[in-house]
Chain A
Amino acid sequence: MVTAHRLNTYFRFTPPSLPACAKKMAAPVAVHLEFGGGAELLFDGVKEHHVTLPSQPEPWDMKQLLVWIQRNLLKERPELFVQGDSVRPGILVLINDADWELKGELDYQLQDQDNVVFISTLHGG
């Protein structure tokens, strides 16, 4: 179950074709997601995921990213990753190598090429 450690997976989602009358949509956002400290075990042991979030009327924020991850990457036992609309206690979120608390947490608006890390705290020794 921990065999596929360093494999990268690539998810590409083509934006749905727009109806002629659609209002202006935000462009798709490519982000690099990483899971570590054991959190990767919820994602088949895959630590790095390059994903493209489809274009949508609103800009993507962290809250929506968590929902997207739950729907598209996390297939089993969501309670080990999310609690309410945030991550479960014991998981630290880093945006571009900084604690997400410094970036606005759930309200942070994702930029193209952002790097988001979900790290479970380690307890061994």
Chain B
Amino acid sequence: MAQEAGSLKAQLKEKEKEIAALKNKLAQLEKSHASVPELQDKVTPLSPLTTKPALSNEDIMRYSRQLLLPELGVKGQLNLSRTSVLIVGCGGLGCPLAQYLAAAGIGRLGLLDYDEVELSNLHRQVLHGEENQGQAKALSAARAVKRLNSTVECIPYHLQLSPENAVQLIQQYPNSYIYNVPTRYLVNDACVLSGKPLVSASALRMEGQLTVYNYRGSPCYRCLYPVPPPPETVTNCSDGGVLGVVPGIMGCFQALEVLKIASGQGSSCGQQLLMFDAQGFRFRSIRLRPKQADCAVCGESPSVTQLIDYEAFCGSAATDKCRKLNLLSKDQRITVQEYKSVVDNSGPHILVDVRPTVEVDICHLPFSLNIPLSSLEQRKSEDIRLLQQRIIQLKQQMADDHQPPVYVICKLGNDSQKAVQVLEKMSGSELDSITVKDVCGGLMAWATKIDPAFPQY
């Protein structure tokens, strides 16, 4: 009997252990499920943020080093926990911005991005890792933020901001942040129409800029730039390049200004433009014009009273993806497949690569002649002489009297079209007569359609 009781007790203990383990596992699962935010593909109404009456002991420990600052204090910290911020673009600026806002204890972060994580993002978009490639950026950023501070409510949006959804979305968030041109006008107008400040930054190559728009008498984006720039003057990161730490620095400045506004200290960046020159290591603060009485959206008699078609307004597509120029007729262009057969048949020709030397150093076709578009446009004499020499050599090789064919290539097939136009003007005058065509889609089309071993960048 005693032996039987002992065995039962042991079994019970064993089962209790098992139950405890299962309970633990369930709790873990529930916790991890709750901490994986659900990806939103449309704007839905948000429940109000639960307001904390006071800081918990854990909060006090976590935020102790910033609570010690008289500029922030308990009141500022509570203000942060009651603030929602929408971050438009989880890229080079959005990543550090989200990271520092979450770390400082912001209440809710809306993370909006329509792109997926790519390998070429990782040098500057520091919330995403190698294993996140192909994932929605908004979700990848939200998960990273949750790992950092699980008390921050994260709402990842996998959608494109449009005139239809922007006001509804922005009204739910006191502060916003943005990039790229049509989106800049769209977010600016939505912020003005919803009465929200806009903490805006940008970075390219080795430079950064930051301004707080529509905040305590400061101008809005349209006050400064009433007319959008011509699309051909707009350079994005995939064309112009950017050193990752530069948007990192600018994103941190954005976080700083958002935290100052959200905690109640206020920004001192209104009506100012901060310019950062990373190469000369120089910061400059520029006094800007005040809010303009004749501004189309924030002025005294605004003509923009609801959101408009921004792609038409700016004359370019709203994504950061590359614009496709169409300057040439069909017979002035050849496809990569057609060019491949020219090469395969050893057809006599000259291939001119018009990319800047820095890009040619990354990769090029072995038989190409590098003359950057800018050198062609400026008619740099040594380059023109070199090309003319090659044309003469080619003519000697060619048996017939045909005009020597010159093919022009670049990265994506935009600059090559401009170069064809320049070369056509020179043909028969500064150069011997030639037939010029551009290779459609450029080297990136060559890499995807002809030679998968050719590097893509």
Contact = CB atoms under 8 A, between A and B. Distances in A.
Contacts of B184: 123
A99 B287 contact: yes
A97 B237 contact: no
A94 B400 CA distance: 59
Interface residues on A, range: 20 to 34
B291 to A, nearest CB: 12
B242 interface: yes
Contacts of B93: 125
Contacts of A98: 286-287
Nearest to A100: B289
Interface residues of B, number: 53
B234 interface: yes
Interface string B364-378: 000000001011011
A123 B236 contact: yes
Nearest to A45: B374
Contact of A89 (B205, B227, B284): B227
A37 B201 CA distance: 13
Interface string B218-237: 00000011111110111111
Contact of A36 (B207, B237, B374, B375): B207
A125 B273 contact: no
A56 interface: no
- Max chain B CB contacts within 10 Å: which of A91, A92, A98, A102? A92
Nearest to B180: A123
B147 to A, nearest CB: 23
Contacts of B228: 89-90
A94 B286 CA distance: 8
Interface of A: 1-2, 5-6, 36-38, 41, 75-77, 79-80, 88-92, 94, 97-99, 101-102, 119-125
Given A92-B224, A94-B286, A125-B320, 6 more contacts: A88-B229, A89-B227, A97-B286, A121-B225, A124-B92, A125-B94
Interface of B: 89, 91-94, 179-181, 184, 201-205, 207-209, 224-230, 232-237, 240, 242, 247, 273, 275, 277, 279-280, 284-289, 320, 356-358, 372, 374-375, 377-378
